[in-house]
Amino acid sequence: MKLLIIGSGGREHAIAHCLRRDAPDATIHAAPGNPGMLDTAELIEIPAEDIGALLDFAVDRRIDLTVVGPEAPLASGIVDRFQQAGLPIFGPDRAGARLEASKAFAKQLMRNCGVPTADYETFDDAREAMDYVAGHAEPLVIKASGLAAGKGAIVCETRDEARTAIEEMMIGGKFGTAGARVVVEEFMHGVELSVFFVADGERAVPLLTSRDYKRVGEGDCGLNTGGMGAYAPAAPADPAFIDDVRRRIAQPVLDAMGEAGAPYRGFLYAGLMLTAEGPRVVEFNCRMGDPETQVVLPLTSSNLLEPMLRVARGESLAGWHPEAAAGAALVTVMASAGYPASSDAGRPIRIPAFDPDRVRVFHAGTAMEGGRLVTAGGRVLGVVGLAGTLEEAGRRSREAVAEIRFDGAHSRSDIGWHALEPGRLGPAGSALIGPPGAAAL
Q: Do 377 and 320 belong together in one domain?
A: yes
Residue 47: CATH number of its domain: 3.40.50.20
Give the domain extent around 364.
191-420
Of the three residues 134, 160, 186, the one that is the final residue of a domain is 186
In a domain, 99, yes or no: no
Residue 97 maps to a domain: no
Q: What is the pLDDT of residues 135-169, one digit of tens each?
A: 898 999 999 999 887 678 888 999 999 999 999 99
**Has residue 9 got a pLDDT over 80?**
yes
Same domain, 277 and 223: yes
The answer to the question of residue 430 being in a domain is no
407 and 268 co-located in one domain: yes
- The residue among 212, 260, 224 whose CA lies nearest residue 108 is 260
Note whether residue 108 is domain-resident.
Answer: no
pLDDT band with cut points at 50, 70 and 90 for residue 439: very low
Q: Residue 107 domain-assigned? A: no
Which of the listed residues 186, 204, 220 is the one where a domain comes to its end? Answer: 186
The answer to whether position 104 is within a domain reads no
pLDDT given at position 148 = 81
Do residue 174 and residue 263 come from a single domain? no
pLDDT mean over 332-359 = 96
**405, 280: one domain:** yes
Residue 430 reports pLDDT greater than 60: no
Q: Is residue 164 part of a domain?
A: yes
**For residues 190-195, average pLDDT:** 94
Q: Are 253 and 216 within one domain? A: yes
Domain boundary among 140, 164, 186: 186
CATH classification at residue 177: 3.30.1490.20
Q: Are residues 59 and 159 in the same domain?
A: no
Are 242 and 378 members of one domain? yes
What does the pLDDT average to over 290-305?
97
User: Mean pLDDT across the chain, nearest whole number?
Assistant: 93
337 shares a domain with 274: yes
Domain total in the chain: 3
If asked whether residues 24 and 62 sit together in one domain, one would say yes
For residue 429, is it within any domain?
no
- Do 274 and 408 lie in one domain? The reply is yes
**Residue 195 and residue 181 share a domain:** no
CATH number of the domain at 392, please: 3.30.470.20
